[in-house]
Amino acid sequence: MANREFQVVPLTPELWPALEDLFGPQGPCYGCWCNHFRMPPKLRKPLLGEGARQLFEKRVEKGPPPGVLAFAGNVAIGWLQIGPRAHVPEWNNPRRASTPLPDAPAQDERNWAASCFFVRKGFRGKGVTAVLLAGGLDFARASGACLVEAAPMDNEARRSADGLYVGPESVFQRAGFVEVARQKPGRPLMRCVL
């Protein structure tokens, strides 16, 4: 996916340095390095920071790409973790807004999740999230996904930038997602059938 300013591509091992530059030395979201939905808190929390970085780098090296990067020129400006629900087991937890519905089980690798965004400071509010989502949907289609789900923040309350790591509802609505359930207040489960 490309527009006049940004290009979106899957995260492959050769792009790891660009992701590291985007995330910074501490990593996004308090050192999570996109492991939040990949393992239970008791395993994830001791790894925050360098351990989480190493774990996610190994995940990227192993493949397939766990998401997409947005670039402005040669600089990575945004990240979307998107892939099969089965790859983010904590996202499927029965106590979450993102709990799978019976018609789209997590075990089916064609059912995907758009679970986390990160946009570089200086590029927030410039449409990068929408470009990432469009590129992520292109990546999902090319990879054989039949649907993508998300559990964004609804548009009723102002949220912090950190709280919007799941994305805002309005971006998903504009991309053609529809609400299929509301399992937690303020967090619709939304779906795009590909």
Residue ranges of the domains in the chain? 7-193
4-41 confidence digits (pLDDT tens): 689 999 999 999 999 999 998 887 877 788 888 888 88
Would you say 181 and 188 are in contact if contact means Cβ atoms under 8 Å apart? yes
Tell me, which fold does domain 7-193 have in CATH?
Answer: Aminopeptidase (3.40.630)
Element (H or E) spanning 78, and its range?
Answer: strand 75-84
Instruction: Please state, as a whole number, how many other Cβ atoms lie within 10 Å of the Cβ of residue 109.
Output: 15
114-151 confidence digits (pLDDT tens): 999 999 999 988 999 999 999 999 999 999 999 999 99
For strand 147-150 and strand 111-119, is the pairing parallel, antiparallel, or unpaired?
Answer: parallel
- Dist. CA 125–CA 156, nearest whole Å: 18
Report the pLDDT value the prediction gives residue 26, as an integer from 0 to 100.
Answer: 80
* Amino acid (1-letter code) at residue 43: L
Q: Which residue has the higher pLDDT, 57 or 28?
A: 57
Of all residues in the chain, what percent carry a pLDDT higher than 70?
94
Report the pLDDT value the prediction gives residue 45, as an integer from 0 to 100.
Answer: 81
pTM for this model (two decimals):
0.92
